Amino acid sequence: MSSRKIEDIHLTLLNKLLSDSGLECIRSAPESLESFSSLEEAEEEASHEQHEELISEETQEGEDKQLVVEEVQAEEPEVFPTPSLRRVIPEKIRKIEEQYRIHVLPEEFKTDIDPAAIPTIAHTAQQKYIDSLAEIVGCTEYKSSLAEFWFLDTLANLLRRAQEDELDRPTQAVLILWFCEWMKEIQHFDAADRKRMMRRFQDNMLSAAKFIAEEERIPTPTDAGIYYRAPEEIPEGQPLQNVPPEYTRHASVTFEGAAFECSLRDLTKIIHYIFDLFSTDYQYDLVRSIFTFSPEYTLIDVPYQIQNPKSLYAPLKFKPKKEKSPKSDKPGAKGKKKDIDTEEYLALLELKAKQERELQEQEERDREVWQYRSHILPLNLAADDAFFNKYWPPPPPEPVPEPELEPKGKGKGKGKK
């Protein structure tokens, strides 16, 4: 994780930047979601009286806003995503490649999040809050996919930090949307390195900060105009990211004009929560190797007889010897001899038993490999030895000691006088 000192430095600079305004982010006690609407109505009545006084100022600022919009539109690339973010290959080939990769994340996350459904991480059982978060974001295979389970566990840690910092539930819902958007960008932008993705993350947060300057509330990725796919590629029936605006206007803020400062402080905390996960090259490359370049596998529909082969030899069954009665000691009929267990016959039985054990061990190994491929994501295949050697190179081999040579002429003159 990144150093705590960096976060403290950023907060100090933010406090210094906002100290000139003379406002402080002072919030009242957390209230229920039902009271948000009543507080919003009171704020609208108070702002209606000041609306007439700000008409002249808004006309002057309107021209500046139009210039800003024109600049942003001019900076947008003609093709999204650009080749620096996503590989340029036909979509047909890309779909074929996806069929041979292991499942890591759902195709689409749920975007309509109810803030009241977010669990309190510190006071909820682990299994219960994992199930709740899975239902909130739409992860359905977390019980069989380690990648989805890691995603939910990481999301729970982010919410734990947000709740310890006393962020309200609507802000936590926005945090969930931004984290889901960032994970989808990592999975979708397969041609970008860490430097390029960090620049993308910086641009996203700057867009969110510009939205706060205009609306004085924390935006969702859709509100800030952030998409990991081109807008025309999004299905028509897919719901947009939705957190009611009346929930994200900081209803707990009682001082007029402090909503901008509180929203900016919360956005700074969200930036640090997400950045801490990818603050080093090793962390970023490890997550990227699992969620973007997951190991491939080949599915072969073979017959049942090959999937479940029969054993070559039947298991040996030793029958217990029966005690012979004295009457059975009579010699047998002529021409019939008892089978004698010779050494060659015993060696053949041992060979059959050994082959049967080897066959069972091979079947267990094949069954384990099949379980890894069909149920559980093999994370050890995603990061191989070459990946770890880049960060922790193996120690150099120990030098081989050279053999000591005996001095010439030693021991030759023992018999001479």
- Locate all alpha helices (DSSP H) within 192-342, ordered by sequence: 194-215, 259-275, 281-291, 304-307
The kind and range of the H/E element at 373 are helix 343-374
DSSP one-letter code for 19 = G
Number of CB atoms found within 10 A of residue 386's CB: 7
Who's near 373: CB < 8 A, 6+ residues apart? 102, 297
- Residue 27 DSSP SS3: strand
- Residue 186 DSSP SS3: helix
Who's near 290: CB < 8 A, 6+ residues apart? 104, 147, 150, 377, 379, 382, 383
Residue-by-residue pLDDT tens, the chain, 417 positions:
455 676 677 777 767 766 665 556 655 544 444 444 444 454 445 444 444 444 445 445 454 444 443 344 444 445 677 888 888 888 888 888 887 788 889 989 998 899 999 999 999 999 999 999 999 999 999 988 888 999 999 999 999 999 999 899 999 999 999 999 999 999 999 888 899 999 999 999 999 999 998 888 899 999 988 888 876 666 655 555 555 555 445 444 444 556 788 888 899 999 999 998 888 888 899 888 888 888 777 667 677 667 777 766 655 666 666 666 655 555 555 554 445 567 888 888 889 999 989 988 988 888 777 766 665 455 666 677 787 888 888 888 888 888 877 776 655 555 554
Number of CB atoms found within 10 A of residue 398's CB: 6
